[in-house]
Structure 1
Amino acid sequence: MKNDQIPVEKNELIDVTFEDLTHDGAGVAKINGYPLFVKGGLPGEKGQVKVVQAKKNYGFGRLMGLTKESPDRVAPPCPIFHRCGGCQLQHLSYEGQLAQKQKQVEETLARIGGITDVPVHPVIGMDEPWRYRNKSQVPIGEQKGHVVAGFFAERSHEIVDMESCIIQHEENDHVVRLVKELARKYGVRGYDDKTHKGTLRHVVVRQGKHTKEMMVVLVTKGKELANKKNIIQELRERIPNVKSIVQNINPKRTNVIFGEKTEVLWGEEVIYDYIGDIKFAISARSFYQVNPDQTKVLYEKALEYAQLTGKETVIDAYCGIGTISLFLAKEAKHVYGVEVVPEAVSDAQRNARLNHVENATFVIGEAEGVMPWWQAQGIRADVIVVDPPRKGCDENLLKTMVLMKPERIVYVSCNPASLARDLKYLTENGFEVKEVQPVDMFPQTGHIENVVALELKN
Structure 2
Amino acid sequence: MLKKNHSYQAHISDQSPIGSGIASLKGHPIHIPNSIPGDIIQFKVIKTSSQISYGRIIKIIQKSPHRVTPPCKIASTCGGCQLQHQSNSAQHEFKSKQLLRDLQAHINITASDIQAIIAAKHPWGYRNKMQLALSEDNGQLKIGLYASRSHRVIDMPHCPIMHDEMAQVLPIFKEWHRQHPIPIFNEKTHQGTLRYLTLRYAPQHQELMVILTTAAPFPVPESLIKALKQLPAFKSLYICKQADPQSDQVLTAELSLAWGTPHIQETLFETTHPLSPTAFYQGNAKLIETLYETWIKIINWNGEGCLLDLYCGTGTSTLAFARKGGQVIGVDQHPAAIQNAKRSAQLHQINAQFVCETAESYLSQHKHPNSSILVDPPRSGLHPALIQALIQHAPATIGYMSCSAKTLARDLAFLVSAGYHIDQIQPIDMFSHTPHLEIMVRLSRPNS
- The question of 1:362 aligning with 2:351 is answered no
Q: 1:35 to 1:398 in 2, by over 3 A?
A: farther
Give the one of 391, 410, 417 matched to 2:406: 417
- Separation of aligned partners in 1, 2:72 and 2:373: 42
Q: Secondary structure at the match of 1:292?
A: coil
- Within a 5 Å distance, the mapping from 1:295-314 to structure 2 comes to 295-314=288-307
RMSD: 1.8
1:393 is matched with 382
Partner of residue 268 from structure 2, selected from 275, 289, 303 = 275
Instruction: Report what 2:231 is aligned to.
Output: 239
SS of the equivalent of 1:138 reads: strand
Pairs aligned (count): 446
Q: Report the equivalent of 1:336.
A: 329
The superposition leaves residues 33-57 of structure 1 with CA deviations (integer Å, 9 ceiling, x where unpaired) of 5432110121233333322212353
CA distance in structure 2 between the aligned counterparts of 1:229 and 1:187, rounded to whole angstroms: 15
| Higher mean C-alpha deviation, range 323-332 or range 208-217 | 323-332
Q: What per-residue deviation string (whole Å, max 9, x for no partner) do you get for residues 319-352 of structure 1?
A: 1221211112122511222222232222222232
Q: Name the amino acid aligned to 1:19.
A: S
Contact 1:114 1:424 in 2 (8 A): no
Match of 1:305, SS?
helix
Residue of structure 2 equivalent to 1:294 = 287
1:98 aligns to 2:82 (yes or no): no
1:4 paired residue number: none
Check conservation: 2:172, 2:227, Cα contact below 8 A: no
Deviation, structure 1 residue 189: 2.0
- The structure-2 alpha-carbon separation of the partners of 1:31 and 1:398, relative to structure 1 and needing over 3 Å to count, comes to farther
Deviation per residue, 1:213-269 (Å, 9 max, x gap): 11121222212347x122212322x11121212211221111111232211122110
- Bigger drift between 117-126 and 182-191 goes to 117-126
Alignment of 1:176 with 2:165, yes or no, is no
CA offset digits 1:74-96 (Å, max 9, x no partner):
01111111121111101001121
Matched with 2:45 is: 51
Aligned-pair CA distance for 1:117? 6.5
Instruction: Please tell me whether the aligned partners of residues 118 and 433 of structure 1 are also in contact (alpha carbons under 8 angstroms).
Output: no
Structure 1 partner of 2:106 = 112
| 1:446 shift after superposition | 1.3
1:27 aligns with 2:21: yes
Q: Distance in 1 between matches of 2:125 and 2:393?
A: 42
Provide TM-score, normalisation by structure 1.
0.92
Q: Could you list the per-position Cα deviations for residues 303-322 of structure 1 after superposition, in whole angstroms to 9, with x for gaps in the alignment?
A: 11221222231111211221
C-alpha deviation, 1:384, in angstroms: 0.9
- 2:305 is the counterpart of 1:316: no
Q: 1:230/1:103 Cα in 2 relative to 1: closer, same or farther (>3 Å)?
A: same
CA contact (8 A) 1:131 1:167 kept: yes
Unaligned 5+ segments in structure 2 are none
Is the aligned partner of 1:229 residue 2:222?
yes
What residue number does 2:445 align with?
456
Task: Look up the match of 1:438.
Answer: 427
* Per-residue deviation, 1:68: 3.6
Contact 2:136/2:142 (8 A) holds in 1: yes
Q: Which amino acid aligns with 1:364?
A: C
1:47-86 matches, cutoff 5 A: 47-86=41-80
Letter in 1 for 2:377: P
Q: Distance in 2 between matches of 1:338 and 1:326?
A: 12
Aligned counterpart, 1:210: 204
Alignment equivalent of 1:136, drawn from 110, 130, 148: 130
1:373 equivalent among 350, 354, 365: 365
Give me the identity figure in percent: 33
Distance 1:422 1:33, change over 3 A: farther
**8 Å contact from structure 1 (residues 298, 451) kept in 2:** no
C-alpha distance in 1, partners of 2:289/2:29?
38
Determine the C-alpha separation between the residues in 2 that align with 1:445 and 1:76. 13
1:51 match: secondary structure: strand
TM-score (norm 2): 0.94
**Cα distance change of structure 1 residues 225 and 37 upon mapping to structure 2, 3 Å threshold:** farther
SS of aligned partner of 1:113: coil
Contact 2:122 2:286 (C-alpha < 8 Å) held by counterparts: no
Residue ranges of structure 1 left out of the alignment (5+ in a row): 1-6
